[in-house]
Chain A
Amino acid sequence: MTSVIVLQDVSHRFDSKEVLSEITLHIPKGEIFGLLGPSGSGKTTLIKLVTGLLEPTSGDVYMNGEKMPSLAQMKRYGFMAQSDALYQELSGKENLDFFASIYRLKKQEKKRRIKELLEMVNLTEVADHPVDTYSGGMKRRLSLAAALLHEPEMIILDEPTVGIDPVLRQSIWKELNRLKDHGVTIIVTTHVMDEAEKCDRLAMLREGRIIAMNTPADLREEIGADTIEEVFLHYGGASQ
């Protein structure tokens, strides 16, 4: 299978502090790839390297075979950042319209996608209200919609379900699975163990290193654990 994302011996430092060390991974097309790790383990830095917002100190990042950062690749993924990244004064619809215009969607297509996505994230009724009147969960949903506007072939989500209630979390995962069925590659970071279970493959990140990487089932089986949490403690504890 072809890998849409390749990281080759990637290390990154901020000043003298090494945040990521010798990360090598391949993500094939159509996979839901999870990055699991506690806060400060380097998840967000890894995401920034993949999206091209950062250039690694050493090593290479490739997207669809092209070395990142690359403007051409930037329209091929959708990104949902950890912060909501919305314009508070603008309405939900205006926010989507703005991002759709940045991706240069045609007028008709823009209208259609905005309508579809507002329905998907269940915000049609408040579409014309300014975002600063939205609750935390509504903002997360709008951010997700903004990442999906241009129907990207890859979606990168940094902690998409933080502060979202279980019902909504389930509906977001349902949507991610539906996208996967259409061949969309999904990279998602999380520190919630039961969410990690829903990924096809999982990389456990701790202090900037990948301590384990496999399917959730294999990870559990290898060490005879019942839960992903036990797996994490097993590998994480071993390095201490």
Chain B
Amino acid sequence: MNSLTITRRILIQFKRDKRSLALMILAPIFVLTLMWLVLDSEKDTLNIAVIDVPDAFEERINEQEDINVITMGENQAKEEIAEAELDAFILWEDGKPSVTIEGSDPNSTSIVKEQLQNVQGNDSDDMKVNFWHGSEELGLFDYVGPVLIGFFVFFFVFIVGGVSFLRERTQGTLERILSTPLKRSELVGGYLIGFGVFTIVQSFLIAGYSIYVLDMYMDGRFLYVLLVTFLLAITALSLGTLLSAFAKNEFQMIQFIPLVIVPQVFFSGLFPIEGMAGWLQAIGQVMPLTYGAEALRGIMLRNEGFTDFQFDLYVLTAFTALFTLLNIYALKRHRPL
């Protein structure tokens, strides 16, 4: 199959171009390490459910700013906290409040604790605190880590994939291989497989380094992390090669970073988006990184199983399919057949 011929060529090129190889693996590892060194431990409305607590206690919580108190049953509260819709719930046990904090967002965790201490005043020692996910040690780095893994893989695959496809055009080899019986789909397929093989290695190294060397909080299965990272990388590759059709040179390819990459960061979960206007949140829904980051966070912080994050995988696959088909179509400019 012709795609495999292209795959083999891409892998040889990678072997020769050690710098690009290093960019895709060492650069993310380097930046993640920096983040880890710099970050150690901001604010929105907290959703706290109260279950059969005395009215006086409920009133005191209600007096606190930025807390949205909801009354519900214990089972419902457990269900909602599992899906991260609640930040905490409070039960009443032996005449004392028993708090369960969602725990995957260290910012919320510290605010919940702070607010409840205000409520309790001097009696705060009497309060029992449990964590649904994670533990008290979950730092900011652990919280943003999964998003960063996804982001760096996306970013570097986008750039290297886009530029190498662009160079195919600028050095004339695109025209040359299109003057052979090679199908346009075989060319795009060859790129997907060639980079695919490479991104498996890349995902493995970056995720492995973050989790086992930097000791990023990890509650879920490593295989799932690899699966999501790999799919995200393939999405980045298909987007990068598609957009390279609209760049005349490498510099114009770099110009896509502020247009395509940076906006994705804002919606990927690094910053809370719950407070944004609805139309603004909708923008996040059309960005691949949103889904990749959500899935990664679910797996690493909340130990989500396949059924919990499969929707994100389907969306990423759909993005890849869309970008790939558009790319095959865009190549018509270089050969009508």
Contact = CB atoms under 8 A, between A and B. Distances in A.
The SS class assigned to the A binding surface is: loop
Contacts of A54: 336
B12 A86 contact: no
Interface string B174-189: 0111111111000000
Contacts of A51: 179
B172 A102 contact: no
A88 B171 contact: yes
Given A99-B180, A102-B180, A103-B180, A94 B175 contact: no
B40 interface: no
A99 B181 CA distance: 11
Interface in A84-130: 84-90, 94, 98-99, 101-104, 130
Nearest to B186: A102
B221 interface: no
Contacts of A37: none
Contacts, number: 81
A74 B9 contact: no
Contacts of A238: none
A81 B179 contact: yes
Nearest to A88: B171
Contact of A83 (B172, B178, B334): B172
B179 A79 contact: yes
Contacts of A102: 2, 5, 177, 180-182
Interface string A33-76: 00000000000000000011111000000000000011110110
Contacts of A69: 335-337
A130 B13 CA distance: 10
B16 interface: yes
Given A71-B181, A98-B5, A102-B180, A89 B172 contact: no
A90 B173 contact: no
Given A79-B176, A81-B175, A102-B180, A130 B16 contact: yes
A54 B333 CA distance: 8
A53 B178 contact: yes
A154 to B, nearest CB: 12
Nearest to A74: B181
Contact of A89 (B5, B17, B180, B181): B17
Given A88-B171, A98-B9, 5 more contacts: A53-B335, A82-B172, A85-B176, A90-B13, A146-B176
List the 3 shortest-distance A-B pairs measured between CB atoms, nearest first.
A83-B172, A85-B176, A85-B172
Interface of A: 51-55, 69-72, 74-75, 77, 79, 81-90, 94, 98-99, 101-104, 130, 146
6 contacts: A74-B181, A79-B180, A85-B171, A85-B173, A99-B180, A102-B2
